[in-house]
Structure 1
Amino acid sequence: MDARHIATAARLAHIEPFHVMELAKQAAELERAGRHVIHMGIGEPDFTAAAPVIHAAEAAMRRGVTQYTGALGIHALREAIAGYYKTAYGIDIPERRVIVTAGASGALLLACAVLVEIGAEVLMPDPSYPCNRHFVAAFDGFARMIPSGPAERFQLTAEQVVANWGPDTRGVLLASPSNPTGTSILPEELRKILAEVRERNGFAIVDEIYQGLSYDAPPVSALSLDDNVVTVNSFSKYFNMTGWRLGWLVVPDALVSAFEKVAQNLFICASAVAQHAALACFSPAALEIYDARKAEFHRRRDAIVPALEALGLRVPVKPDGAFYVYADCRHINHPFAGDADRLTQAILHDAGVVLVPGTDFGPHTARDYLRISYATSMENIEEAMQRLHHFLR
């Protein structure tokens, strides 16, 4: 059979390519040609897994604990995660509500599989991480993107939830702090949002994968505001384990069996080696390393925001978490001001710096904003700012 004549599922029409990866491909071509390129595009920490985690993985492989685990994850790791909520957030979460997943992406897929019905509408802010709306589309739901600007901290508000909740709306999908903006939802606003969703018998999925990287105030988990929320977290960002593909969910008691059934069928389990290695993340030695790395991200944030402002790339909301800056490109002195796609192409090819246009994150800010990742060294950040200065001059 000719593969060109095999019909693909209609849902693919609602799933768009990830434009960030196209820029990464172009950057790789430039590097193969001998250009030096500074990567400030993909959101991946430049730090890798801490030494205690590496040692724990080696020990696990020597012990031979490489076979399937239970679909919910190994008991010791679920218990450690529950304990982490107590020390980090002051919340008592029973271990039975913790579900270990194949990364935060696996967690979001599970959440959408369990909660999103065919034709269900899910509210989320525009801009948002693009895969979130595509997870909804993968289960034949519809992501309704609500324009959210600087006045809303690029986040949904309770007022927007009330105004946009319709007959097909079933819930909200939030991220705090957010990719691409690095902004969090203020606790009182989040409390109001969750109350409005609960009043409408809807679901709330809150992506908290960047909460460990909160700089200006202690992080507040949605779990401390509403016991019925589904939260997503990950070992990728704060714990610097991107390629290990390990995350977790905390779900209401009543939903555990539903999540377990779907996890058994979709994933069987998360990586056994990664699970045993991740136990070391919560050791005092590892936590000391992560605190030092968080302080370094904080230092980078405080350096890059004023540097971008000095270039005319305005930052209307100072990011308080993650490792992103969402910068308005409409006011720079350049022919491509206000055309983020053409601007990032020119910056890549002329200055050798990878930045990301707002295109991937939703139509509302697509042309006007750039996402800049500071998950790279201070030396690279300083060099990138010099290159941008010369490019814009």
Structure 2
Amino acid sequence: MPTTSPTDPPIDPRSLRALQLAQRVHAIEPFRVMEMVKAAGDMKRSGTDVISMSVGEPDFGAPEIVAHAAMRAIQAGATQYTDSLGLRELREAISGHYAAVHGLDIDPGRIVVTAGASAGLLLACAALVDEGDEVLMPDPCYPCNRHFVASFGGTPVLVPASSDDRYQLGAAHVEAHWGPRTRGVLVASPSNPTGTSMTPQQLRAMLAAVRARGGFAIIDEIYQGLSYDHKPLSALALDPDAITVNSFSKYFSMTGWRLGWLVVPQALVPVFEKLAQNLFICAPTIAQQAALACFTPEALAIYEERRLAFQRRRDLLVPALRALGFTVPVMPDGAFYVYADIASVAHPHCGDSSAFAWSLLREAGVAIVPGDDFGVAAPQRHVRFSYATRLERIEEALARLERFLG
């Protein structure tokens, strides 16, 4: 019998016993960029024209050929669970992509398709990080990386990386900061928020330093398709035992489809498969079916056009920011970010990136991200610009920024 009726008074939530939250919740900080996005959205809904240079999401959607592949899959009823490692056809297509782009022979059996790169990073941390283990990563870096490690009881160790290091974790950093509890490293090349890649020499030396200590190397390569000044280099070309993470979100313009992949050593495939079975079952089936079309000549031609469009945006934005007083010591060679130092900018908030970013949003209608999301190494001096928006909007944002700076 029901214990209440429609006439019963509502239950006062204050009468419920407070739940005890897991300690890991308190260790995870808010993702501040999303607060900026929320505020910008509120302004747009109130009628203010806001130019978004905050979110790391391509303004290009999935090409029609990819969308049509998804619709065909739905119509054909190809919507049920796949193997936990992913569709065999998709893993083979990804393997072929490594051969075409990197000249690498990657066994499809080593490829694990995941629900976005985030799920791939979670699987890697679940497999490799124990309570109290330390994982080195550069500062600045993508904020969720440290939270992935902390979620499994590990301790992220942020190592300050300067522009001299291209804001990347080098062999010298590994040697200086490796301790008795250190298990490995987590790096990204190209990086969010800096857009900089590791040079081949940097990457080779860093991997060798980790390997010499018996550690693991997780390399986030989700922006490698968006490389501008050189051919992209996968860590797999230098160390077949590296664990690499990739995604269909950035280069392939499929952010909301939630699809990514890992390449792992053959011996670890059963471990990742077991974890995937229990934590995710499988990546979204429709997204996997659609992603098969990403590797067709038609789609790849579109992606190349888009890559060149991003490069043109970068080549406009960086010199313009420097002319306005921002310091950009390293030209970003990948992704779609510029990590700029505001200390020399003529503005009252040049020493407080958070106040600067919020003032720019409210007074000029331009949304950027303050540096405090990305680490503890001088975040108050840095802001991140995303150029994942069309060229004419970037030009308008620069005009507004010039007026904002007076």
Verify same fold: TM over 0.5: yes
In the alignment, which residue of structure 2 is the partner of 1:85?
98
Distance (Å, rounded) in 1 between the aligned partners of 2:98 and 2:39: 41
CA deviation profile, 1:348-385 (whole Å, cap 9, x unmatched) = 00000001000100010310111000000001000000
Shift of 1:13: 2.2
In the alignment, which residue of structure 2 is the partner of 1:258?
271
In the alignment, which residue of structure 2 is the partner of 1:391?
404
Comparing 87-96 with 30-39, greater Cα deviation is found at: 30-39
> Partner letter of residue 56 of structure 1?
A
In the alignment, which residue of structure 2 is the partner of 1:162?
175
CA deviation profile, 1:286-311 (whole Å, cap 9, x unmatched) = 00000000000011010000010111
> Partner letter of residue 371 of structure 1?
R
Distance (Å, rounded) in 1 between the aligned partners of 2:45 and 2:101: 44
Match of 2:205 among 168, 192, 209: 192
Match of 1:40 among 29, 53, 73: 53
Distance (Å, rounded) in 1 between the aligned partners of 2:404 and 2:109: 54
In the alignment, which residue of structure 1 is the partner of 2:386?
373
CA deviation profile, 1:326-350 (whole Å, cap 9, x unmatched) = 0000001111012100000100000
In the alignment, which residue of structure 2 is the partner of 1:29?
42
**What residue ranges of structure 2 are gaps of 5+ in the alignment?**
1-12
Distance (Å, rounded) in 1 between the aligned partners of 2:378 and 2:264: 32
Length, aligned pairs only: 393
Distance (Å, rounded) in 2 between the aligned partners of 1:372 and 1:149: 18
In the alignment, which residue of structure 1 is the partner of 2:19?
6
- Secondary structure class of the residue paired with 2:29: coil
In the alignment, which residue of structure 2 is the partner of 1:116?
129
> Partner letter of residue 292 of structure 1?
E
Match of 2:155 among 136, 142, 162: 142
Distance (Å, rounded) in 2 between the aligned partners of 1:281 and 1:348: 36
Distance (Å, rounded) in 1 between the aligned partners of 2:296 and 2:131: 43
- Secondary structure class of the residue paired with 2:191: coil
In the alignment, which residue of structure 1 is the partner of 2:4?
none
- Secondary structure class of the residue paired with 1:364: coil
CA deviation profile, 1:100-123 (whole Å, cap 9, x unmatched) = 000000000000000111110000
Query: 1:366/1:300 Cα in 2 relative to 1: closer, same or farther (>3 Å)?
Result: same
Shift of 1:84: 0.3
In the alignment, which residue of structure 1 is the partner of 2:290?
277
Q: Check if 1:241 corresponds to 2:246.
A: no
Distance (Å, rounded) in 2 between the aligned partners of 1:242 and 1:365: 30
- Secondary structure class of the residue paired with 1:128: coil
Match of 1:104 among 111, 117, 123: 117
Identical counterparts, % of pairs: 60
Comparing 368-377 with 29-38, greater Cα deviation is found at: 29-38
Structure having the higher Rg = 2
**What residue ranges of structure 1 are gaps of 5+ in the alignment?**
none
In the alignment, which residue of structure 2 is the partner of 1:132?
145
Distance (Å, rounded) in 2 between the aligned partners of 1:61 and 1:363: 46
- Secondary structure class of the residue paired with 2:79: coil
Contact 1:126 1:365 in 2 (8 A): no
- Secondary structure class of the residue paired with 1:248: strand
Q: Check if 1:334 corresponds to 2:347.
A: yes
